[in-house]
Amino acid sequence: MKFTKMEGIGNDYIYINNLSQQIKNPGALAKRLSDRHFGIGSDGLILVEPSDQADFKMVMYNSDGSQGKMCGNGIRCFSKFIHDQHLSTSTSLMIETLSGLRNVTLDFKEGRVLGATVDMGIPIIDPLQIPLAINIEPLDYELTLEGRTYRCSFVSMGNPHCVIFADTIDTLDLAHIGPLFENHPLFPESINTEFITVLDRQNITMRVWERGSGETLACGTGACASAYIANTLGKVDHHVTVHLKGGSLSIALDPITRHIRMSGPATTVFTGELEGEYNGAY
């Protein structure tokens, strides 16, 4: 079984062409392969599968084996993988995800795919669709954890996000704080949590704790959620650069259609083959 390791500003996944085979237990495979000591090392596993409503279907699993719905960095790399593996010659792809259809336009330089622009759709702020366990004000809610109160804003970009403004994010103990949010009963499907600092009208810095993966170097849907919340609250303009540990993403919010477009790089790290206990065991 051949695989490709790819990353989008440090958000790394293992990609496998699953069009003509059937992986029996992809969640278990994702957990084994994502281990950075005993496996390949990644934030998760992404499979290319056939779709009856789009060009291809993206099926993703987090590093803990749980299934994810959508990944902004992952879908850019997914589209590059399709082109590089000669699965399609189109420069624009419609991709099916568990969060719905996403249109991706590949970005080329000298014939090589260096990145992509993704129409991430319209943000969802209905509390019960995010989903939150109770019907509350999603843009300004005070949540108390271990005696400290956080002012939170909630939105879904196909997966749920909690955005928190902070004066500084460098010293946050995210390994301790992140699981408190992820596993809070307010979030029936758990939550991705972004701590952000607004630098100016066009720039945001961000750290993220992703459900099922822990702190990652980048999160595309989290960058979109952060830009949307900051814009809705009047803190930034409609075009924002979000700076993450792994790099930067360009986020554009259409004031008329309300769609969000995300642009960023997609990079192949290496390719290989699974052998021994991995090959055919899942």
Report, as residue numbers or ranges, the catalytic residues. 71, 219
Whether 211 and 190 have beta carbons less than 8 Å apart is answered as yes
Burial class (CB within 10 angstroms; exposed 0-12, middle 13-18, buried 19+) of 281: middle
Rounded to whole angstroms, how far apart are CA atoms 115 and 45? 19
- 144: its two tokens: 């108390």
Q: Where are the alpha helices (DSSP H) in 47-172?
A: 72-84
Question: SS3 of 196, please?
Answer: strand
* Residues forming beta bridges with residue 94, ordered by sequence position: 103
Rounded to whole angstroms, how far apart are CA atoms 268 and 204? 27
Question: SS3 of 279, please?
Answer: coil
Question: SS3 of 187, please?
Answer: coil
| Distances, alpha carbon 7 to alpha carbons 12, 46, 144, 226, in Å | 4, 12, 35, 21
Q: What secondary structure does DSSP assign to 12-62, as a single string?
A: EEEEEE-SS---S-HHHHHHHHH-TTTS---SEEEEEE--SSSSEEEEEEE
